[in-house]
Amino acid sequence: MNAGWGRRLATGANGLLVALFGLGLAVGTTLLAERYRWRLDLSEDGSASVAPETDGTLRRLSAGDQRVTITAFSAQRKDAESFVRDRMMRDLLREMDLRSDNLETRFVDFDRDRLTAEALGVDRYGTVVVASADDRVDLIDREMFRHKRGEGKERHLDFVGEAPIAAAIEQVLAKRSFKIYSLAGHGEHEIFDRGLGEWKGLANLIDAQGFVVKTIDLLRDRSESGAVAVPDDAAAVILLGPKRQLGAAEEEALRDYLLRGGRVGLYLDPGGAVPRLLDEVGVAVVEGVVLDREVIRPFVDRPLLRYRSHAITAALAEDDAATVVSRAAPLALTTLEGVDVAPLLQTSRTGWVERGDLRQPVYDPGVDREGPVDVAVAVTVRAPHAWARGGKAGARVLVVGDSDLASDEVLGEGPGNPTFVANGLRWLVGADDRMGRVGRASPVRRVALTEGQLVTLRAVAMGAVPFAALVLGLGILAMRRRR
Amino acid sequence: MTGPSLTASIHAVLLKELRVLFLSPLATVFLAGCLMLGGLFFTLGVSLTGEASLRNMMPNLGAMLLFTLPLLTMRAYSEEERSGTLELLMTVPVGPLAILLGKWLASMVLCSVFLAFATSWGWLLAVWGDPDLGVLATSYLGLGLCCGAFSAVGLFASSLTRDQMVAGVLAVCFLLPSWLAGAARDLTPAAWQPVLDRLSFTEHLRGFARGVVDTADVLWFVAFTCVFLLFTWQSVESRRWR
């Protein structure tokens, strides 16, 4: 080998090494940057990042050893909206994916990849399956997107899927230690109809908290000894709109349960049954329906409510997310020793209790009661109250003058309803540290064009702008050549 | 005797390259063609989805730049070599690095002109809609980074051959896997997806299109650009001893 070749070889090898070193450095840097990434969300409403609550959920997921898989199926291809839906879902999945190593996300084209759909037993477009080990939550398209009315016939699409997906992750991660009994036998609402029932939303909401709900008829489902009693494993008992009075034995069973530090949630309605044990904590459901002078037809029975300071309502007040009730029963409070009654939802002074004809609601000072009117209260019992005498302090009672606020019809109407209901249940079972916030909506920013505007847009974007560039380029060319 | 500083050398090469670009119809054709194609994607995106953003057109714009930027850069070294001016350039005291950076900056200047014209899309959205200005800004930033990376690849391809057409085709071939990786993402097993995500420029544009500036995405484009500029430098340097 002559000296020339030797020099070429050495220089060539040197160049190759430099190139390889540079490549290695670049790959290493990008891999490190992926691991220690810093993200700056410059969108005006911060919607390009996940909400702090979702981030918290994903951190908890990362901290554990449980893996969660999210499989999202594409929307039905019927219009341009399906494209937007798919893209927003992909964006969220990617954003979540980046934040936890224990999360695996997959977006599946429902039309193309039927095998995956069949394997997961999914038969609807837009379904999201959140799964971990042997647990799984299915979310439907309706829970992911919401249409909002704009001006005239305009409809805006909001993506609201982040909170339900985060809640589903929490659900599959949660150890289902809280058992809630839903009392039956008095015309209460049945929340387990998972078809097109009125209470599917509540059932999903309870599921998403990781609570196990069982229906119980105290008279029929007696204990092993034959006694009418609330089971020992009950984290809470709820009554959802009872229409008939509870029997004496049932009242006694609930009282006995409260004496053991039990938790009871009462969602009552005007004209419905009211358990007598409420008298013992100074809460009464008075006759009439709560209305508001500020509210006009056709929603006259939906008073404007404000939040009072409490763990259940703190985040809701902060987020300014209204809770909507429909035909609510007014509550009257009496101060008793050993009972802390905290109002949760209350009307302003413009609210009143209508005792006359609801078809012609007019505030009559002689008959009706002036606001503010309490619609929901949280009661905590301590010594020296009779219920705390057994040494088991901490009995809690949640009283809401409306059960419909948790129905499918109203649950989706008030931005604060799902959180209010969920926080109420969390407070009942003592999970005060898990109070949730309102799931935020990410609006799709629209540009609504008329036919004429679309023509102008085309003319400017495809004609005027390229033409301007052409004129500029040719102008420069001509100028330079003239020189 | 000392030669001019690196900055001065880069400046001189940049001016010379810009002069060459604008003295030929190439720059004008590139600008007008890209703006027309981009305008088509823009109007399609807006009329089909009604969204006041560039999100829908970002992958298409990236693909358009993938095919058009090599046309702009393919002549950078090939033409110099074919006409014999490269050897002359290598003998002047500016150095191959200054030549390289000058050429790359010249194509970036042209890309900036393209992006400046392209801001008219954002302006149109603002006239009739309510676009998120932060999202628009990051979208343009992403496109700018994309231009830088693709120009670097174009220069590298141009440094490999004296035939402009071959250089153009080579550049597209170098960039194609990065484009196809994004398209193949949903068709491959889940285990492959992280690898494809890392390769795909469309995946790295996704954050910018949403209004997020992610250091990982920025560094990906910067590293991509630097690697191909380094390759080009080494390729040009190799002419000294070949």
Q: What is the pLDDT of residue B1?
A: 47
Q: Answer yes or no: are the C-beta atoms of B73 and B107 closer than 8 Å.
A: yes
Q: Please name every residue paired with A40 in a beta bridge, in sequence order, or none if there are none.
A: B213
**What does the pLDDT read at residue B173?**
95
In total, the C-beta contacts within 8 angstroms joining chain A to chain B are 198
- Tens of pLDDT, residue by residue over A6-25, are 777 877 788 889 889 999 99
A72-81, A261-270, A379-388, B193-202: least confidently modelled range: A72-81
- pLDDT band at residue B242 under the 50/70/90 scheme: low
The ipTM value here is 0.88
Distance CA B82, CA A318 (A): 70
Q: Give residue-wise pLDDT tens across range A227-249.
A: 888 998 899 999 999 999 999 99
Both structure tokens of A328: 């609510």
Q: Which residue has the higher pLDDT, A407 or A330?
A: A330
Type of residue numbered A94: R
User: Tokens 């194509």 belong to which residue?
Assistant: B107
Mean residue pLDDT of chain A comes to 85
Q: Given CB atoms, is A115 within the 8 Å cutoff of chain B?
A: no
Phi, psi torsion values for B104, nearest 5 degrees: -65, -40
Q: Which residues of B touch A30 (CB under 8 A)?
A: 198, 216, 219-220, 223
Report pLDDT digits (tens) over B116-175: 999 999 999 999 888 999 999 999 999 999 999 999 999 999 999 989 999 999 999 999
Q: Which residues of A touch B113 (CB under 8 A)?
A: 469
Instruction: Give strand pairing partners of B223.
Output: none
Provide, rounded to the nearest whole percent, the portion of chain A with pLDDT above 90: 32
- State the Cα–Cα distance between residues A206 and B62, nearest whole angstrom: 45
Q: Which tens digit of pLDDT belongs to each residue from A281-331?
A: 999 999 989 988 777 666 778 888 999 999 999 888 887 788 989 889 999
Region of poorest pLDDT, from A55-69, A119-133, A188-202 = A188-202
State phi, psi for A130 to the nearest 5 degrees: -105, 120
> Could you say which of B29, B55, B216 has the minimum Cβ distance to residue A33?
B216
Taking domain A177-434, whether its CATH number is 3.40.50.880 is answered by yes
Residue A175 has pLDDT above 70, yes or no: no
Domain assignment of residue B171, given as a range: 6-241
- Residue A60 has which token pair? 């908890």
Identify the helix (H) or strand (E) that includes residue A70. strand A68-73
Mean pLDDT over the full length of chain B = 89
Asked whether the bond before A298 is cis by omega within 30 degrees of 0, the reply is: yes
A296 alpha-carbon distance from chain centroid: 28
What ranges do the domains of chain A cover?
52-159, 177-434
Q: What is the CA radius of gyration of chain A?
A: 30
Has residue B204 been placed in a domain?
yes
Which fold would CATH assign to domain A52-159?
Glutaredoxin (3.40.30)
Q: Is residue B1 in a domain? A: no
> Please, how many CA atoms are within 13 Å of residue A334, restricted to the half-sphere of its CB?
10
Helix, coil or strand: residue A265? strand
Distance, in Å, from the CA atom of A394 to the CA atom of A390, rounded to the nearest integer, reads: 11
Q: What is the pLDDT of residue A369?
A: 82
Contact list in B for residue A480 (CB cut-off 8 A) is 19, 22-23
Mean pLDDT of A181-198: 76
| Residue B241 to residue A481, Cβ atoms within 8 A | no
Return the axis-axis angle of helices B201-210 and B164-184, rounded to nearest 10°: 70
How many domains does one find in chain B? 1
